[in-house]
Amino acid sequence: MKKVIVIGNGMVGYKFCEKLRAKAGHQEVSLLVYGEESVPAYDRVHLSEYFTNQSEEKLLMAPAGWYAENDISLKTSQLVTEIDRDQKIVRTHTGETEAYDYLILATGSRPMVPPIKGVDKKGVFVYRTIEDLDQIIAYAKNVKRGAVLGGGLLGLEAAKALMDLKLDAQVVEFASRLMPRQLDEAGSNMLKSKIESLGIEILLNKSTSEIQGNGKLDGLLFADGSQLDTDMLVISCGIVSRDELADQAGLETGKRGGFKVNNQLQTNDPHIYAIGEAASFNDMVYGLVAPGYDMADTAVDQILGSGQKQFTGADMSTKLKLIGVEVGSFGDALGDIAGSVPIVFEDKNTGIYKRINLSPDRKKLLGGIMVGDTSAYGMLLQITQNGMALPPNPEDLILGARGGESGGNSMMDLPDTAQICSCENVTKGDIVGAIKDQELTDLQQVRTCTKAGTGCGACSPMVGDIFTATLKSMGQVVRKTICAHFDYTRQELFSLIKVKGIQSFDELLDQYGSGDGCETCKPAVASLMASIWNDLILKQDTIQDTNDRFLANIQKGGSYSVVPRVAGGEITPDKLIAMGQVAKKYDLYTKITGGQRIDMFGARLNDLPAIWRELIDAGFESGHAYGKSLRTVKSCVGSTWCRYGLHDSVSFAIEVENRYKGMRSPHKLKGGVSGCRRECAEAQSKDFGLIATEIGYNLYVCGNGGANPQHAKLLAGDIDEKTAIKYLDRFLMFYIRTAEPLNRTAVWLNKLEGGIDYLREVVVNDSLGLGEELEKDMQALIASYHCEWKEAIEDEGMKAKFRHFSNSDEHDPTQQFVPMREMKKPADWQTVTKD
């Protein structure tokens, strides 16, 4: 029997154990693992989620019982301090000794801490372990400001953590751009702009020369003489391999640190292997989880004797979501290959930047960058890795086809050898073969069988696309499940929640899901809960939209907008005066919107409850401008004032808006009521619109303005107001039940088989026999309406959430405004200076 000892119980160490036990039973190999931390291996990739739930269990790769079940001896809180290569023995800090046949060094890395004067002061932290996060959380309770040293991947994650802890956050980066290894200047500027819009200050080209303070940090001094006042500092300047055992054991290290290994992951001792961030292969230390998993697989293969698998390096492409911003970088992202031809798309309005680099002959894709939209990342990565042919117009890869044949590639065009999941080294052929040979019928079965998508999760969309395409090629009907954690469509989850009376995400996950959930299913379920139960959004464990957290839209510079409901655009002089008084008292920028109401900008977070107290006392209600819900029902003045008006469109618009106010849906909803065919309310560009005729109203649905305008379609003509309301009830509830998450009504209709004709059959002719049920469900939502802001300000616990700082009611001192046309606007970041 071979005896294997693993030093290190991080993600890669755990993966080695998992892969070894999958190929060799306990009678063939004895397995002992030493872990320095007190808990079993946990997911460092999603470490920042600990700030939300502070649960070790949710981060664990596997519970402690898993090790026992697989006959793995796990010893936590044990630091190996010595390796005796002659005797093949390891010794721990407690004096315990164990013999080995093979030794796996999975010691990982530690944060790199620059030798800055004052780095040992109180209030300085690193961002690596759960213990580090516990210390950061505890210290943050008593401070107001926090800075992060380092603008790379982990640095931006740390900045998000400080923001979640309600601190005024800054990021300090030595280089001239964020994520300098992954993004070019334009991509970095786009990311910088999006992060700054959330209220996080970015300081570039800053060399920190001293951490100031008398025993306790109170600021940073930079080489250019400028200073930054801050109460705590999180250092995230990269990693250093944990190779402390090398000198004592006589093991060679790479030029940049790490145990030097060959293609078999062997050190200069053939019985000792190094994997993950502890290993140096060709003087390269790989800091991503996928190369570490590949190393683990190689080491298992070598130890078990087949010796066929070798490690040849790894692709460092990556896709992630940083502080809510999608970022992707693949292949030759920066265009370092001589003669490469870049194609760039930049939309500052939507915050999207895309760049692809073509080979000098313009026949191959070499790499690229994506900020704000990574939906095409998976396919672009595969085109790069597999040398696939480009479409006739390569710009279509980032712009989309603009008419005619795009010549683009699909997942089924990939060769079977294309690596889809780099974490588990799963190819397209592995996935297709498993689906066909084992007759797999859902995505969870694919993941369980192939392990694709069970690592970092970046490949999940590709796995889903291959699954769907394969089933279609086999002539099977494909169910569009919501994500990897729920083997149900959105419509099926809607029914489960309603029929079973499920009231929370955790309850739904426990009964019908798996894992911990993700950024796809959490907001989708939050939307379903809100649409079905119409409960106060602040009571939910998860929220549909980040603006729901504070019942307001966050604006440039970190301030918020306040938008009371003004049904139909009609407002009394007293209410108009009250709104003006509030805007004047709190120094808010005011603007009449296209939806016929008044928007007040520049509200500070801790002023929101007071502002809404005054507005509600004046008779206003929440306008739900922040939610995926009904926004406005625009109207013209109709027959009341207009000589062309056929009906009282204002009164009807007010009735419709008050009927559906507060109703949560898959996406925002807008309506309009025009008093005649002149269409001054622009009803045909709305999700639903009513246009007066000589004998009633024409009802139009599924229009859309914005980036992709689409005229609404006629659902029913010449109907009276009562019938119009009945059809609207049915239409809106059918949309809420059946639309995919974040699909506007126009997109939903485009996807609906049968289009407007089918929708008319369901709503008008009641072809499914659902009419009464849909009307009843709508009536239940109407009956449960509540003004979210009224409830929020009357609950002291909820009011406490509206603070910049957990221990103070002060304003955020970093928010600055400048004059503009007798009002104000947020100061541009580059003009904001420190006192």
Q: What are the angstrom distances between the C-alpha of 573 and each of 235, 490, 576?
A: 55, 45, 5
Q: Which residue has the higher pLDDT, 236 or 796?
A: 236
Bridge pairing between strands 168-172 and 553-554: unpaired
Q: What is the DSSP string of 289-300?
A: HHHHHHHHHHHH
- For residue 311, name the pLDDT band (cuts at 50, 70, 90): very high
8 A C-beta contact, residue 638 and residue 647: yes
Assigned token pair, 321: 């979501």
Q: Which residues, including other chains, have CB under 8 Å from residue 391's CB and lie 6 or more apart?
A: 397, 406, 407, 408, 409
Q: What is the DSSP string of 371-412?
A: ES--TTHHHHHHHHHHTPPPPSSTTHHHH---SS------GG
- For residue 90, name the pLDDT band (cuts at 50, 70, 90): very high
Q: What is the DSSP string of 85-145?
A: TTTTEEEETTS-EEE-SEEEE---EEE-----BTTTSBTEEE-SSHHHHHHHHHHHTT-SE
Asked if the model's pLDDT at residue 801 lies above 80, the reply is no
Q: What is the pLDDT of residue 82?
A: 95
Assigned token pair, 426: 């799963």
Q: What is the DSSP letter of 276?
A: G
Question: Cα–Cα distance between 157 and 177 in angstroms, integer?
Answer: 16
Across residues 279-306, what is the average pLDDT? 91
8 A C-beta contact, residue 278 and residue 259: yes
Torsion of CA 755, 759, 764, 770, to 10 degrees: 160
Hunting for tokens 């709190």 — which residue is that?
586
Q: What is the pLDDT of residue 835?
A: 38
Question: Cα–Cα distance between 360 and 263 in angstroms, integer?
Answer: 32
Fold observed for domain 318-409: Enolase-like; domain 1 (3.30.390)
Matching fold, domains 2-109+240-303 and 124-237: yes
Asked if the model's pLDDT at residue 408 lies above 60, the reply is no
Q: Which of 1.10.10.1100, 3.20.20.110, 1.20.1260.10, 3.40.640.10 is the CATH number of 419-473?
A: 1.10.10.1100
Q: What are the angstrom distances between the C-alpha of 455 and each of 75, 152, 421, 435, 451?
A: 24, 21, 8, 20, 8
Q: What is the pLDDT of residue 400?
A: 66
Question: Cα–Cα distance between 380 and 395 in angstroms, integer?
Answer: 12
Please return the burial class of 175, using the count of CB atoms within 10 Å of its CB with bins 0-12, 13-18 and 19+.
middle
Q: Which residue has the higher pLDDT, 796 or 285?
A: 285
Q: Which residues of 253-274 are buried (b: 16+ CB within 10 A; e: fewer)?
A: bbeebbbbbeebbbbbbeebbb
Asked if the model's pLDDT at residue 826 lies above 70, the reply is yes
Bridge pairing between strands 272-274 and 102-105: parallel
Residue whose C-alpha is closest to residue 148's, from 130, 181, 172: 172
Phi, psi of 817 (to 5 degrees): -130, 155
Residue type at 402? R
Question: Cα–Cα distance between 529 and 544 in angstroms, integer?
Answer: 10
Q: Which residue has the higher pLDDT, 684 or 440?
A: 684
Residue 696: which region, alpha, beta or left (left: phi > 0; alpha: psi -120 to 50)? left
Model confidence pLDDT, tens digit, residues 132-158: 999 999 999 999 999 999 998 888 888
Asked if the model's pLDDT at residue 407 lies above 80, the reply is no
Model confidence pLDDT, tens digit, residues 716-755: 999 999 999 999 999 999 999 999 888 899 989 988 888 9
Half-sphere exposure of 31 (CA within 13 A, CB side): 29
Q: What is the pLDDT of residue 574?
A: 94
Across residues 81-100, what is the average pLDDT? 95
Q: Is the dihedral of CA 189, 191, 192, 194 positive or negative?
A: positive
Q: Which residue has the higher pLDDT, 27 or 717?
A: 717
Look over the chain and give the mean of its residue pLDDT values, rounded to a whole number.
88
Across residues 239-251, what is the average pLDDT? 94
Across residues 214-227, what is the average pLDDT? 93
Q: Which of 3.90.480.10, 3.90.1150.10, 3.30.505.50, 3.40.50.2020 is the CATH number of 550-622+793-823?
A: 3.90.480.10
Residue whose C-alpha is closest to residue 403's, from 391, 385, 412, 420: 391
Helix (H) or strand (E) segment spanning residue 75: strand 72-75
CATH of domain 124-237: 3.50.50.60
> Which of 350-359, 398-407, 539-548, 767-776 comes out lowest in average pLDDT?
398-407
Q: Which residue has the higher pLDDT, 598 or 407?
A: 598
Model confidence pLDDT, tens digit, residues 502-548: 988 888 988 998 877 877 788 888 889 888 988 877 777 666 666 78
Q: What is the pLDDT of residue 257?
A: 94
Asked if the model's pLDDT at residue 831 lies above 60, the reply is no
Q: What is the pLDDT of residue 248?
A: 92
Question: Cα–Cα distance between 394 and 549 in angstroms, integer?
Answer: 41
> Which of 313-317, 385-389, 508-512 comes out lowest in average pLDDT?
313-317
Q: Which residue has the higher pLDDT, 834 or 639?
A: 639
Fold observed for domain 629-786: Sulfite Reductase Hemoprotein; domain 1 (3.30.413)
Q: What is the pLDDT of residue 595?
A: 87
Q: What is the pLDDT of residue 668?
A: 92
8 A C-beta contact, residue 219 and residue 230: yes
Question: Cα–Cα distance between 297 and 12 in angstroms, integer?
Answer: 10
Q: What is the pLDDT of residue 472?
A: 84
> Which of 197-211, 392-406, 469-483 comes out lowest in average pLDDT?
392-406
> Which of 24-33, 480-489, 504-513, 677-686 comes out lowest in average pLDDT?
480-489
- For residue 326, name the pLDDT band (cuts at 50, 70, 90): confident
> Which of 122-131, 233-242, 318-327, 502-511 comes out lowest in average pLDDT?
318-327
Question: Cα–Cα distance between 634 and 66 in angstroms, integer?
Answer: 59
Q: What is the pLDDT of residue 806?
A: 56
- For residue 805, name the pLDDT band (cuts at 50, 70, 90): low
Fold observed for domain 2-109+240-303: FAD/NAD(P)-binding domain (3.50.50)
- For the question of whether the overall pTM of this predicted structure is more than 0.85, the answer is no
Question: Cα–Cα distance between 543 and 504 in angstroms, integer?
Answer: 11
Domain residue spans in the chain? Answer: 2-109+240-303, 124-237, 318-409, 419-473, 490-549, 550-622+793-823, 629-786
